[in-house]
Structure 1
Amino acid sequence: MSLSYLIRRLGAVIVVLAIVTLAVFAITNVLPGNAALMILGENATPENLAALERQLGLDQPLHLQYLHWIGGVLQGNFGMSLRLGLPVSDVVGGAFVNSLWLAGIALATVTVIAIPLGALAAIKRGTIVDTVIGLFSYVGTALPEFVTATLLLVVFARPENPIFPAGGFTPPTEDLPSFLDHAVLPAMTLGLILMAHISRQVRSEMSEVLSSDYVRAARLKGLSEGRVIWRHALPNSLAPAVAVISLDIGYLLGGIIVVEEIFAWPGLGRLLIYALQNRDLPVIQAITLLLAVVYALSNLLADLIIAKLDPRVRYA
């Protein structure tokens, strides 16, 4: 992989994140509610409000407030939570680790299952297997997270005979089996839609590859069908699948907000809802920026993987 390609992609990520910081700061500053008012309460006197605004720097022009904020962010200082009175990095850090566990389980499971599922549908194209997998994909993409979560709760977490817990969280360092039990339903909720997207994409790309001239040539040379599929067809179908997975991380980050609230999972999604309800602007800014960083880095990683799978991308 060429160094110039890597530098170009890193430069694009830095530009995107710089724009995101401006957008996050601007949007949170037009939200109703003042940080000083949130701290002192509605009964605060104008004199106390003015004094606290000077202390927090809220009386300064917006561009100076932005420079002060971004300077702290670059040093890892996101400020203090207005409601909890704790450093934002401590509040968000623990929630981020919990969300990372959930998203990682969902994404890993989906990737391991969806790619072979899509490949199988392409190999069995036109058969009952292809039809069943296609039906699953359409149903998966049609159901939103809250509907999928409700159905899973009804089937697997009935009060009279629960198979998995209906909600809650146990740290994996304390009790790993209990953690996995609690993670099954939220990870399954996130994974079903992702699995449908990825399997459909792999099926579409692999069907096209299996009809290509070089695959026909490989078969005419007498190569076994397994070698043709796993050595030639599947690797050339993975680049679009990697692109879809990186885009679906955006869905994963959005869907995790709903899923964590439904299953009482103490991650970034639940924390963001709490911060929005309480106008905790530093926490909102930190979470939004963190989600943007994760999405940008995941797309950078996907670009590098695609460039490795398909060298033509590097020179485009």
Structure 2
Amino acid sequence: MKKVILKRFLNAIPLLFIISIIAFLLIKLAPGDPIQSFVTPDMNPDDVERMRKSLGLDQPIYMQYILWLQNILTGNFGYSIITKRPVLDMIIERIPATLGLMGASLLLSLIIAIPLGMITAVKKNTIFDRIANFFAYIGISIPGFWFGLMLIYVFSLQLGLLPSMGMRTVGTDSIWDVMKHGILPATVLAFQNISVYMRYIRSSTIRQLDEDYVQIQYAYGASKRHVLFNHVLRNVLLPVITIIGLSIPNLVGGAFITETVFSWPGLGLLGVTSIFSFDYPVIMAITLFSSVMLILGNLIADILYSVVDPRIRLRG
């Protein structure tokens, strides 16, 4: 297992290198000029050129990339063009908020989707199954930003039960306050995942219930609950781990939209703000950190495979 993990980390290096090149080129080819954020109507053109030279923007694109890469390899992510703060400090401040939101939504998705998917499989073609599938199709279809706005309208504006934006109430410093602020954005991120997970778990459970080992357990007098949660569940978890690994990019991408809608102070909100202000050092850093999160998420999924199915660990 250690060799597999080491190999995955080594394979991630060229992948991150390619991602950085593509992201850097896209940012440079995008319309706009970061220098315009500093230019005032009465500024001298010579001052503008000196500023461009001090930022290294007067050099060819490949030289700009080489200089940026050299700084990254030494742990220097540069300074934000807008806030003048170190980019690494800004990223470190925002990571806990994003990871907390993603972790809460993923946990909520699994807690609801696993039992719901298995129950709908047992009650296949019943009214309960049809209603659950109807809501699953809705969850897969509706856009996340629209669902977030609807939740704000109902639970914040109309009912006044939950806060509509931010991570904390001004003057309040408690875990419960953070949890209240996180309920709506975590629900938005989890809703689509619950729908996808439930559908996969339902179909996988239906297949497992037709296997011979299930019929043998029934022949020995085992109850349906015992067979479902002691035998079928273990085999159902493997495709669930696959889906989790595949859904991590959606979680990261969804966090950008959800954090913007709810003003959640994470990497997503910082990324969108940096894109609109053309703060390319921050954009590049967020791109790299998001890529690392995706790679680590898929690596964790591979490790969980070996935990759930010992045969995979033995082959490894």
TM-score (norm 1): 0.89
Which residue identity does 1:57 align to in structure 2?
G
Partner of 1:251: 250
Which residue identity does 2:284 align to in structure 1?
Q
Q: Deviations over 1:255-298 (max 9, x none)?
A: 22222222222222221221111111111111122111111211
Partner of 1:67: 66
- 1:268-283 alignment to 2 at 5 Å? 268-283=267-282
Paired residues, number: 314
Q: Deviations over 1:51-77 (max 9, x none)?
A: 334333333343332232123223332
Distance across 2 between alignment mates of 1:49 and 1:298: 43
Once the two structures are overlaid, the 10-residue window that deviates more, 148-157 or 19-28, is 148-157
Structure 2 unaligned regions, length at least 5: none
The sequence identity of aligned pairs, in percent, is 33
Displacement of 1:193 = 0.9
Structure 1 unaligned regions, length at least 5: none
Which residue identity does 1:226 align to in structure 2?
R
Superposition RMSD on alpha carbons, in Å? 2.5
Q: Is the 8 A contact 1:37 1:49 kept in 2?
A: no
Distance across 2 between alignment mates of 1:171 and 1:14: 41
Partner of 1:164: 162
**Distance change in 2, residues 1:136/1:220 (3 Å):** same
Q: Is the 8 A contact 2:78 2:87 kept in 1?
A: yes
Partner of 2:5: 6
Distance across 2 between alignment mates of 1:112 and 1:84: 40
Q: Is the 8 A contact 1:168 1:265 kept in 2?
A: yes
Which residue identity does 1:247 align to in structure 2?
L
Partner of 1:95: 94
Distance across 2 between alignment mates of 1:43 and 1:88: 30
Displacement of 1:162 = 0.6
- 1:33-48 alignment to 2 at 5 Å? 33-41=32-40, 44-48=43-47
Once the two structures are overlaid, the 10-residue window that deviates more, 249-258 or 201-210, is 249-258
**Distance change in 2, residues 1:58/1:154 (3 Å):** closer
Distance across 2 between alignment mates of 1:171 and 1:282: 30
Distance across 2 between alignment mates of 1:171 and 1:244: 35
Q: Is the 8 A contact 1:275 1:281 kept in 2?
A: yes
Q: 1:207 aligned to 2:206?
A: yes
SS of equivalent residue, structure 1 residue 77: coil
TM-score (norm 2): 0.89
Distance across 1 between alignment mates of 2:4 and 2:94: 34
Partner of 2:145: 146
Q: Is the 8 A contact 1:13 1:296 kept in 2?
A: yes
- 1:90-239 alignment to 2 at 5 Å? 90-159=89-158, 161-170=159-168, 174-239=173-238
Once the two structures are overlaid, the 10-residue window that deviates more, 82-91 or 221-230, is 221-230
